Amino acid sequence: MTNIKRWADLILLVQAFVTIWSFECLGMLGASNIIWFILLAAVILLYRFSSKYTAGLSTKTVPVTAVVFSGLYTFYNMSSITKQYDNLFFKVIVLFVVFTGLFILFYHGLKTVYKWYLSLNALELFRTQCTNDANGIKSKVFLISFVICMIFWMPGYLYEFPGIVTPDSINQIEQVLGLVPLSNHHPLMHTLLIGFCLRPIFAITGDLVTAIGFYTFVQMVLMALIVSYSINSLKLIGLKLRWVYLSLAFYVLIPFQWVYIVTVWKDVLFAGFIMLFVTTLIRVLLIDIEKIKITDLILHFIACVGTALFRSNGLYAFLLMIPLLCIWGFKAFRIRKRMIYTWGLSLAVILIIRFPAMSAFGVIQPDIIESLSIPIQLFCRVLVEDKDLGMEDTMMVNKVIDTTYIHELYAPDFADNMKELFRAGDIDYFEEHIFEYASLWIRTGLKYPSVYIDEYKNMTYGYWYPDNPAGEGTYTVADNDGVCNNGLGIERRWLLGGSCARLWQKIREIGTKLSTMLPLYGVLFCMGAAFFIECISIGVVLTQKQKGKILPLLLPFFAVCTVLIATPVAADFRYTYFLTMLLPIIVIYPAFTDYKLTE
C-alpha cells in the first residue's frame, strides 16, 4: 500500500511539473523565477485534493472536454509558443508540453467540477429548503426584479438618450422612414419593431429623436421583462433567494449591460429571445409538464419565432434544434404534445414570414457574399500571401475580383473589406458559377491547409479563446457611445447631466476598466470564457441520467457554432452577447437536472 501511495505521489508530482512547465512555455513567468517552487507545491496539493475528491467518478466527457479545451488553448498560442525556436523538433516538444500540461490541469479541474455537480453538492448549495416561504416569495420576485432592472438601467437611458445609435441603426431607421427599400440584411422583424414604435411617436411629436428614444425605452422594458421572467424561473425551480438576487445583480450591476440595453441593435433583443427560449424550456423540463401554463407556451412560441427572425444565424440554430426537440417530444407524445404543437406552429410562422411573405412585399435579401465571410477571408489570405494557385485557378480569380489593392485592403480579423472586394467585381458571374468557386476554395485549402487554419483562428478566436488577449488581438467590450454621424438630424440629448452624468460615466468607466485588472470579474467580459462554461454545463448534463434535459443548453451552443461558421469579424462581443446573458442560468441549471420540482 505504501508503494502504491508513493507511485501515486510521484505521478502527481510529474503531472504538476508538466503543468507548470506548460505555464512557462506560455510565457507566464521566466524559467528562473523562484515562484515556480510555490506554484509546484500548490498544484501538487490541488491535484491531490482532486484525486481524492473525485475517486470513483468515471465519465468519458471529462477527458474529451479537457482535450478540446487544451487543444483550443494550444492552437491559439501556437505561434507565440514556437516563434523562439528554429528547430522543428523543439517546436513539437514545446507544443506537446503545453498541450499535455493544460490537459492535465483541465482534466483535474473539470473532474472536480463534475463531481461537485453529480454528487449533489451543487444542488445543496443552490436549492432552498423553505418551500412554504418560497411560495409566498415567488409571486414577488418577478415584480421586484423588473423594478430593480428599470431603476439600474434608467441612468444609462437618460445619459444616452435617445439611445446608442450606430450606422446599422441608421440604415434600419431609413428603411422605416421609406428612404431606402426594406431589406433583410438587418433582420426585417427588428426593423418593423423599430417602425412600430417610431412611426406613431414621430407622427404625434414630429421629433425623430423622441421617437427613437421611445423605441429604446420599449426595448429596455422588454429586456427587463425577459430578465425578470428568467430570474423568476430560477426561483420557481427552487433556487435560494440569495442566489436569485445575486443572479439579478449580474444583469443590473455589470457595466456592459447598461450599454447594450440602450443600444439600437438586433443583438440585444436576440439575446432576450434566446433567454426566453431557454427559461421557458427549463420550466417544461424541471416542472411537471402538465402544470405548464398557457402563458408559458405563448412565451415559448414568441421566443422560437424571435430567435429565428431577429438574426440570420438564429434561424439556422433553431432549425438545428427542431429534430432534437421532435425526438424528445415524440418519445412521450401524449404528455408532450402541446410542446410539439408549439414548435410546429412556430416553424410554420417562421417559414411563412421568412420566404413567401418577404417575397410578396419585395423585401431585399442579403446577397450571397454576406453569408460567405469565412470562406472569402480564408481564400483571400492565400492571395495576400502570394501563394501559387496555378494558371487556371488564377484566371478564375481574375474573372470575379481585381486583386490590385488586395494587400492594402486585407485585414486578418475583419472580412468586410474582402467581401466588398468581391461585390466590386463580377458578382453575377460569381453567383452563376458558385459551385466552381466553392471547388476552387476547397482545392486551395487542401493545397495550403496551414494558411486556412491560421486565418480561421484569426477570424474566430474571440468566440472560443477563454481570455481577452493582450496586444493586437485584444477586443473592447461596451465601448459604444452616443449617436453616429447621420443625415437624418438625429443627435444625442443628455437627459442626465451635471454631476449625476459625470458620476454615472465614471462608475461605468471604472467598472469596465476593472475587467482588465481583476481576475474572475474579467471572465464576465470574455466571450471565450462564456463558451467554455457553456461546454462544461453541457458535459455535466450529458453525464446525468436524463439526457433530454440537455435541450435548453443546445440552442445557445448551436448559435455560437453558426457564428463560428459565418462571422465577419474576429471578436465582436455583441455576436455572442446572448451567451453572456445566460451565464447565471448556465451555471445553476446543471445542479437541478437530476431534481424534479414536485410542489
What are the pLDDT digits (tens) for 266-313? 999 999 999 999 999 999 988 766 678 899 999 999 999 999 999 999
The residues pairing with 165 across neighbouring beta strands, listed in sequence order, are: 483
If asked whether residues 178 and 197 sit together in one domain, one would say yes
My answer on whether 358 and 378 are in the same domain is no
Cell of 185: 440584411
Domain-embedded: residue 597: no
Assess contact for 277 and 311: CB atoms under 8 A. Answer: no
- The domain tally of the chain equals 3
pLDDT in tens, 492-504: 998 988 899 999 9
Residues 354 and 400 placed together within one structural domain of the fold: no
pLDDT at 473 over 90: no
Please check the confidence at residue 515 and state whether its pLDDT lies above 50. Answer: yes
Rg of the chain on CA atoms, in Å: 26
pLDDT 10s digits, 329-376: 999 888 889 999 999 999 999 999 999 999 999 999 998 999 899 999
pLDDT in the model for residue 599: 36
Residues 6+ apart with CB under 8 A from 370: 185, 419
Give percent of the chain with pLDDT exceeding 70: 96
Kindly state whether residue 560 falls inside one of the protein's structural domains: yes
Structural domain contains residue 475: no
pLDDT, tens digit (0-9, with 9 covering 90-100), for 561-596: 999 999 999 999 999 999 999 999 999 999 998 754
Helix 391-400 vs helix 434-447: crossing angle, to nearest 10: 130
Beta-carbon contacts of residue 28 (< 8 Å; ≥ 6 apart): none
Residue 474 included in any domain: no
Q: Is 569 helix (H, G, I), strand (E, B) or coil?
A: strand
Q: Any residues with CB less than 8 A from the CB of 294 and at least 6 apart, and which?
A: none
Task: Give the residue from 119, 137, 171 where a domain finishes.
Answer: 119
The answer to whether 222 touches 539, Cβ cutoff 8 Å, is no
**CA 280 to centroid of chain Cα atoms:** 19
Same domain (yes/no): 430, 500 = no
Q: What is the pLDDT of residue 138?
A: 65
Q: Of all residues in the chain, what percent are helix, strand and coil, respectively (each to 5)?
A: 75, 0, 20
Residue 417 and residue 376 in contact, taking contact as beta carbons nearer than 8 Å: no
The reply to whether 88 and 144 lie within a common domain is no
Residue 480 banded pLDDT, cuts 50, 70, 90 = confident
Distance CA 12, CA 217 (A): 57
Contact call for residues 460 and 564 (beta carbons, < 8 A): yes
* Bridge partners (DSSP) listed for residue 483: 165
Judge whether residue 4 has pLDDT over 80: no
Set of cell numbers at residue 45:
496539493
Is there a single domain that holds both residue 170 and residue 213? yes
pLDDT, one tens digit per residue, over 99-156 is 999 999 999 999 999 999 998 889 899 988 765 455 556 679 999 999 999 999 999 9
Question: Cell for 147?
Answer: 423594478
Distance between CA atoms of residues 565 and 539, nearest Å: 22
Final residue of a structural domain among 98, 119, 140: 119
Q: In this predicted structure, what is the pLDDT of residue 279?
A: 96
pLDDT at 550: 94
Which residue is listed with cell 443600444?
263
In whole angstroms, give the CA distance from residue 208 to residue 433: 45
Q: For residue 187, is the peptide bond before it cis, meaning its omega torsion is within 30 degrees of 0?
A: no
Write the CA distances from 599 to 135, 161, 182, integer angstroms. 9, 45, 50
The pLDDT value recorded for residue 57 is 84
Q: Is residue 435 part of a domain?
A: yes
What does the alpha-carbon distance between residue 98 and residue 85 come to, in Å, rounded to a whole number? 15
Per-residue pLDDT tens over the stretch 542-559: 998 788 899 999 999 999
Q: How far apart are CA 553 and CA 531, in angstroms?
A: 11
d(CA 122, CA 521) in angstroms, rounded, equals 21
Kindly provide the residue ranges of all beta strands, DSSP E only, lying in 415-499, ordered along the sequence: none
Helices (H), 354-403: 358-360, 373-384, 391-400
User: Does residue 483 sit in helix, strand or coil?
Assistant: strand
* Beta-carbon contacts of residue 517 (< 8 Å; ≥ 6 apart): none
* The domain boundary residue, chosen from 464, 488, 512: 464
Cell of 214: 421611445
| Tens-digit pLDDT profile for residues 44-101 | 999 999 999 998 888 889 999 999 999 999 999 998 888 888 888 888 999 999 999 9
Contact 418, 377 (CB under 8 A): yes
Phi, then psi, of 597 in degrees rounded to 5? -70, 125
Say if residue 115 is in the same domain as residue 141.
Answer: no
What cell was used for 466? 477563454
If DSSP codes are grouped into helix, strand and coil, which group holds residue 364? strand
| pLDDT at position 56 | 84
Residue 544 and residue 581 share a domain: yes
Name 321's Cβ contacts closer than 8 Å, sequence gap at least 6.
551, 554, 555, 558
Range of the domain at 76: 2-119
Q: Distance (Å, rounded) from C-alpha 286 to C-alpha 313?
A: 28
The reported pLDDT for the residue numbered 44 is: 95
Please state whether the predicted TM-score (pTM) of the whole model is above 0.85: yes
Main-chain dihedrals φ then ψ at residue 437, nearest 5 degrees: -75, -30
In a domain, 251, yes or no: yes
Give the tens place of pLDDT for each residue, 430-453.
Answer: 999 999 999 999 999 999 999 999
pLDDT(258) > 80: yes
CA distances from residue 595 to 118, 298, 495 in whole angstroms, order as listed: 11, 25, 48
459 and 493 fall within a common domain: no
Please give the Cα distance from 586 to 234 (Å, whole number): 11
pLDDT interval class at 598 (50, 70, 90):
very low
Q: Which residues of 427-450 are buried (b: 16+ CB within 10 A; e: fewer)?
A: eeebeebeeebeebbeebbeebee
Kindly state the average pLDDT of the residues 199-211.
96
Is the pLDDT at 253 greater than 90? The verdict is yes
Q: How confident is the model at residue 137, as a pLDDT?
A: 64
C-alpha cell at 222: 422588454
Q: How far apart are CA 69 and CA 598, in angstroms?
A: 37
pLDDT of 411 > 70? The answer is: yes
Both 206 and 194 in one domain: the answer is yes
Say yes or no to pLDDT of 265 above 80: yes
Closest CA to 107 of 35, 27, 25, 22: 22
* Same domain (yes/no): 290, 404: no
Question: What integer best gives the mean pLDDT of the chain?
Answer: 92
**Phi (first) and psi of residue 483, to 5 degrees:** -115, 130
Q: Is 106:100 a contact under the CB 8 Å cutoff? A: no
The verdict on residue 457 lying in a domain is yes
**144-203 pLDDT tens trace:** 999 999 999 999 999 999 999 999 999 999 999 999 999 999 999 999 999 999 999 999
Q: Which residue has the higher pLDDT, 80 or 21?
A: 21
Helix (H, G, I), strand (E, B) or coil at 111: helix
Least Cα distance to 28 among 90, 73, 68 occurs for 73
One-letter amino acid of 173: I
Distance of CA 152 to the CA centre of its chain: 24
Give the orientation angle of helix 131-160 with respect to helix 241-253, to 10 degrees.
10
Looking at the structure, do residues 458 and 496 belong to the same domain, yes or no?
no
| Cβ(365)–Cβ(358) below 8 Å | yes
Does the pLDDT of residue 7 top 60, yes or no? yes
CA distance to 418, 430, 568, per residue, from 405 (Å) = 11, 20, 20
What's the residue count for the chain?
599
Whether residue 49 lies inside any domain: the answer is yes
